Amino acid sequence: MKAQNRTPISIIIIIIMVKLMVVVIAAPTESTENIYTVPLQTNRHFRKNATHAVFKVRSKYTFFLDPLKTADSPLSKGSVEMTDENDVEYYGTVKVGTPGQALKLNFDTGSSDLWFASSFCLFCGSHTKYNPLASSTYSAAMTPWSVQYGDGSTAGGVTAKDSVDIGGILIRQQTIQLATHESFSFRQGVTDGLLGLGFSSLASVRGTLTPADNMIRHNLIKDPIFSVYLGKQKLGGGGVFMFGNSNPAHFSGSLTPVAVDSSKGFWSVKVASLSTAGDKTVPSKTDNALYGSFEAIVDTGTTLLILQKKTSPTNSGFDSLVFSLGGSLFQIPGDDLVYVREGAHCIAGFATGDFPFSILGDVFIRNNYVVFDMKVPQIQLAPVRH
């Protein structure tokens, strides 16, 4: 999305009206402390498109736009390293079946479905397709499922059960959703499917437990948490999703607990205030308060920072945005508020949405380490250390 610039050097902040889902994929590697990591990788062929990013956001939360409306050891810890695609998509590798079939999945805290392309799908692009006939642990369930998004994107198929290996944590008889059809936008994507890390109540197949909930139910992880570190492309990219543990090497200072409202299935938190700061260091008191308390969803599946219109900045005369959460301040520096630079033109890394909440997407998470506690529930935040 571009805008004509009246002055050739000035920065144009374009307020976008949609949301982008971020993709996460990983290939597990074993560390020296029996902690397994799944690396995130970047899609270097991906071209940033702000309009597409907004439609992805709207598609994911379209409901709210309607005004009417088994690791063998119980102490195993799974770490999945992410691939960073130009700070736009992150993906991690998950193995499904026996022997394991490696799939690149979007690790998404804004949804709760585990679905991916299958060999039953005739039109699923060049994706790697899970073949149930090649797995000795596959069992058919054949419950139909479908998802439809506000931009017209669709996917659907049937359910099954099989073993799922996430960073060395083996979940047996996990419900999976096999795509037999998907629309063009999904076929063009880098990832083979999606791993939902929202609450199980949000799952499209009623009664399904997410892989994260099954890790807890079967005592596969030490603590009922997972933590997220997303790298920046200019600093080497990558990232890590860690299940059952957190890594102090990826954050500075202490973690701040923030209560979560999980009643709608999302990781929803209360932001006490949003302010701008006039320098690149988080001040003890923010310089310019934009808005008071509002609800926000912490969503690894959204690239941008999506703000309600009433909270969104309307000019570029600041160096950072500062969020007050849990009594502490968390910053997004000005450099990370620019999504695309094209000559003298810039497109903002934040957008407005007509949702009854804001969305703290990857622009926020790249700057703030997040621990998701599924039992309390709560999140814990600290400034990221790259």
Known catalytic residues?
108, 299
Token pair recorded at residue 127? 């994706």
Q: Which residue has the tokens 């139910």?
A: 217
Q: Residues 267, 260: contact at Cβ < 8 Å?
A: yes
Helix (H, G, I), strand (E, B) or coil at 25: coil
- Which residues make beta-bridge pairs with 170? 165
**327: exposed, middle or buried (C-beta count within 10 Å: 0-12, 13-18, 19+)?**
exposed
Q: Residues 253, 235: contact at Cβ < 8 Å?
A: no
DSSP class of residue 68? -
Residues 275 and 322: their CA atoms lie apart, in Å, by 5
Residues 79 and 386: their CA atoms lie apart, in Å, by 17
**Could you give the angle at the alpha carbon of 23 between the alpha carbons of 97 and 130, nearest 5°?**
20
Residues 247 and 226: their CA atoms lie apart, in Å, by 10
Residues 206 and 202: their CA atoms lie apart, in Å, by 9
Helix (H, G, I), strand (E, B) or coil at 331: strand
